Amino acid sequence: MSGTPETSLPSTLHQALAALLGPSGLLTDTTDTAAFCTDWRALYQGRCAAVLRPASTEECAKAVALCHAHGVPMVPQGGNTSMVGGATPDDSGRAVVISTTRMNRVHAIDHADLTMTVDAGVTLKAAQDAAAAEGLFLPLSISSEGSADIGGILATNAGGNNTVRYGNARELALGLEAVLPDGNVLNLMRRLRKDNTGYALRQLLIGAEGTLGIITQAVIQLQPAPRARETALCAVASAAGALDLFAAFRKQDPAAVVAFEFMSGTSMGLVNRFIDGAALPLSEPAPAYALVELSSPRAGDGLRSLMEDVLGEALESGLVSDAVLAESETQRNALWMLREEHAEAQKRAGASVKNDVSVPLAAIPTLITEATAACEALIPGIRVAPFGHIGDGNIHFNLVQPEQMDAAAFSARDHDIMDTVAEIVRHLGGSFSAEHGVGQLKTYMMPSWRGGAELESMRRIKNALDPDGLMNPGKIFPAA
33 binds ligand FAD (CB under 6 A): no
80 binds ligand FAD (CB under 6 A): yes
238 binds ligand FAD (CB under 6 A): no
**Residue 148 interacts with, from ligand FAD, ligand 2HG, none (CB under 5-8 Å by kind):** ligand FAD
Residue placing its CB nearer to ligand 2HG in the complex, 101 or 398: 398
Find the farthest-apart pair of alpha carbons in the chain and give their distance in angstroms, rounded: 74
138: exposed, middle or buried (Cβ count in 10 Å: 0-12, 13-18, 19+): buried
d(CA 471, CA 75): 6
Residue type, 334: A
398 binds ligand FAD (CB under 6 A): no
**Residue 87 interacts with, from ligand 2HG, ligand FAD, none (CB under 5-8 Å by kind):** ligand FAD
Nearest to 391 by CA among 166, 172, 237: 166
d(CA 159, CA 259): 12
383 binds ligand 2HG (CB under 6 A): no
Residue placing its CB nearer to ligand 2HG in the complex, 25 or 207: 207
Residue placing its CB nearer to ligand 2HG in the complex, 57 or 156: 156
41 binds ligand 2HG (CB under 6 A): no
d(CA 95, CA 149): 22
Query: What is the total count of residues that contact ligand 2HG (CB under 6 A)?
Result: 9
Q: Which of the residues 132 through 191 are near ligand 2HG (CB under 6 A)?
A: 143
Give me the count of residues in the chain: 480
Residue placing its CB nearer to ligand 2HG in the complex, 28 or 143: 143
Q: What is the x/- site pattern for ligand FAD, positions 104-123, by CB under 6 A?
A: ----------------x---
Alpha helices in 34-158 (DSSP H): 57-69, 124-133, 150-155
**For ligand FAD, which residue of 25, 46, 73, 76 counts as binding (CB under 6 A)?**
76
In what helix (H) or strand (E) does residue 387 lie, and over which residues does it extend? strand 387-389
d(CA 365, CA 355): 16
**Residue 102 interacts with, from ligand 2HG, ligand FAD, none (CB under 5-8 Å by kind):** none
433 binds ligand 2HG (CB under 6 A): no
81 binds ligand 2HG (CB under 6 A): no
> Side by side, which strands form the sheet with 352-353?
352-353, 399-400, 383-384
392 binds ligand FAD (CB under 6 A): no
Q: What is the x/- site pattern for ligand 2HG, positions 389-428, by CB under 6 A?
A: -------x-x------------------------------
| Cα–Cα distance list, 442 to 95, 338, 425, 477 (Å) | 21, 28, 15, 9
Q: How far is the CB of 133 from ligand FAD (least distance, A)?
A: 22
435 binds ligand FAD (CB under 6 A): yes
> Which residues, 6+ apart, have CB-to-CB distance to 476 below 8 Å?
208, 209, 211, 437, 438, 439, 443, 446, 458
Residue type, 76: P
C-beta separation of 310 from 325 below 8 A: no
Three-class DSSP category at 425: helix
d(CA 207, CA 345): 27
354 binds ligand 2HG (CB under 6 A): yes
Among all residues, whose Cβ is closest to ligand 2HG? 343
87 binds ligand FAD (CB under 6 A): yes
d(CA 330, CA 433): 34
d(CA 382, CA 372): 9
Binding residues (CB under 6 A) for ligand FAD: these are: 40, 75-83, 86-87, 100, 120, 142-144, 147-149, 151-153, 155-156, 158-160, 209-210, 214-215, 343, 435-436, 439, 472, 475
Binding residues (CB under 6 A) for ligand 2HG: these are: 143, 342-343, 346, 354, 356, 388, 396, 398
